[in-house]
Amino acid sequence: MASFTRTRKDTADVPHPVEAVWGLLVDPDAIARLTPLVSRIAVDDQGRWVWSLQRVPVPGRRLDLTMTEQMAFTPHSRIEFTHTPLEDGARAGADGFYGLEPIDEGTRLTIEITVTARLPLPGLARPAVEATMQQVLTQMGNRFAANMLRELGSTR
């Protein structure tokens, strides 16, 4: 098994107040509904979010993955997440944050995510795997943004 990592950071001005954006970001059901490839997010008895992803593309196959994330909430301004160690069968995790800042037109939302995956592929596959990971992160981010705006009732 080799480990593969990719990072994506985006900032966008969302034409809705911080409270509305925050309300979506702290709701695991809403995040699952808005995020492509995510079939559900459960919250365990320790408050960790357990993400179930289905049919995640990697070169030559599609995998179902689970990520367990420790969440830290600073109301209406920041959500940080860190993954549990990739051991005991865990093959993927993410570290990062959502940052919310009020602006005149609504909310400046920054999302940074670093995904690490331990996959049954050789390290020689790194260029192809990490390129695919970057493409998937881009597509998921773009679709999440569009879905979030639609959920909030935006026309742009």
Predicted pLDDT at 89: 67
Chunked into runs of 10 residues, the chain (156 residues) has average pLDDT values of: 90 96 96 94 93 83 86 97 78 94 96 90 84 91 94 74
Range of the domain at 65: 2-152
Helix axes 126-152, 18-25, angle to 10 degrees: 130
Strand order in the sheet with 92-103: 2-14, 106-119, 92-103, 78-83, 61-74, 49-58, 38-43
Element of type H or E holding 140: helix 126-152
- Is the pTM value of this prediction over 0.95? no
DSSP string, 7-55: EEEEEEEESS-HHHHHHHHT-HHHHHHHSTTEEEEEE-TTS-EEEEEEE
Q: Of 23, 89, 83, 74, which Cα lies nearest the Cα of 48?
A: 83
Total domain count, the chain: 1
Instruction: Please state, in angstroms and rounded to a whole number, the distance separating the CA atoms of residues 125 and 20.
Output: 42
**Residue 131: helix, strand or coil by DSSP?**
helix
Are the CB atoms for 108 and 95 separated by under 8 Å?
no
Q: Of 36, 14, 70, which Cα lies nearest the Cα of 144?
A: 36
Predicted pLDDT at 59: 74
Predicted pLDDT at 135: 92
CATH value at residue 25: 3.30.530.20
